[in-house]
Amino acid sequence: MTSLKEEVEVLRRVPLFAQLDPAKLKLLAFTSERMSFLPGQDLCRQGDIGDAAYVILSGEASIIINQNGNEFVVAQVGENAVIGEIAVLCEVPRTATVRADTKLQSLKIDKETFIRLIREFPDMGIEIMRELADRLTKTTSELSVARSELKAATG
């Protein structure tokens, strides 16, 4: 059984939280619920509205996409993987099903808890904004590169 300290270590490896103050991460860990899954149990299902992110503390899971009633495993994830991190900020439908392959321990970070934490410590919010802005810049530049490549290829 992992303790609070170890959970903080894992949380720190989540890119979205990487810049946060360790003390706040500890509070996040403490107020989050530990959730264990048995092999075959779903952490989340494709199409459901997500309201929590999961950080895998131990065990392995498959990412499964359902297309026209057929399930395809598209990836395997393990320790330290973060599932549905955007769900802690806004409600979006899950894009895939995540199913435990082994016995799996996770930390469930609930949207409500997370938002409350940000409301209490606005600095955290700024850190998150910065992280998201970084990603946006990266994605935007990638997009323009992709566009010009596409133009070059078709034009």
Partner 1 sequence: MADDKKDQDKVLPATVFQFAWMHTKKQQLWVLGIVLLSMPSYFLALDIPKRIVNGPIQGRGFPTEDSREIFLKIAFDIPAWLGGAEAAEPFVLFSGFSLDRWNTLVALSCTFLLLVIINGLFKFYINLYKGRLGERMLRRLRFELVDRLLRFPIPHFKRVKQSEVASMVKDEVEPIGGFVGEAFITPVFLGGQALTAMAFIMLQSAWLGLIAGGIVAVQAILIPRLRRRLVELGRQRQITARQLAGKVGELVDGITSVHVNDTSNFERADISARLGHIFAIRYELFQRKFFVKFLNNFLAQVTPFVFYLLGGYFALTGRMDIGQLVAVIAAYKDLPAPIRELISWDQQRLDVQVKYTQVVEQFHSDGMIDRQLQEATLEPVTGLRDGYKLNGLSVVDDTGNKLLEGVSTQFSLDQRIAVVGGLNAGGETLADVLARLLPENRGTIKLNADDLEKLPESITGRRIGYVPAEISLFFGSLGENLTYGLKHAPFKAKDYDEAGKKQRKWELAEAKNAGNSELDIAADWTNYQAAGATDHKDLIFKVMETLKLVDLASDVMNFGLKGIVVPSVRPDLVQKILSARKELKTRLAKDPYAEMVELFDPATYTVQATVSENLLFGTFLDGDFDGEQLHKDPFLHQVLKDNDLLQSFYEIGHEMASTAVELFADLDPGHPFFEQLSFMTAEEMPEYQAALTRLKGLVYDDLADADREMFIRLTFDYVEPRHRIGLLDDDLRNKLLKTRHAFREGLPERLQTVIEFYDPDVYNCASSVQDNILMGRIAYGVAEGQKTILGMLRDVLDEHELYDEIFTVGLEFNIGVSGKRLTSAQRQKLGLARALLKQPDFLIVNRALAALDRPGQEKIISDIVNNARSTEVNRGVFWVLASPVMAKYFDRVLVMDQGRLVEDGEPDELIAKQGKFAKLIA
Binding site for partner 1 (CB under 8 A): 1-5, 7, 23, 26-27, 30-31, 33-38, 41, 43, 108, 116, 120-121
**Comparison of 85 and 110: residue with beta carbon closer to partner 1:** 110
CB of 93 to partner 1, least distance (A): 20
Q: Which of 50, 45, 23 is nearest to 109 (CA)?
A: 50
Q: Which amino acid is at 78?
A: G
Of 59 and 132, which has the nearer Cβ to partner 1? 59
Shortest Å, Cβ 69 to partner 1 = 24
Contact 84, 50 (CB under 8 A): yes
Nearer to partner 1, 103 or 138 (CB): 103
- Angstrom CA distances, 136 to 50, 52, 139, 140, 150, stand at 22, 22, 5, 6, 20
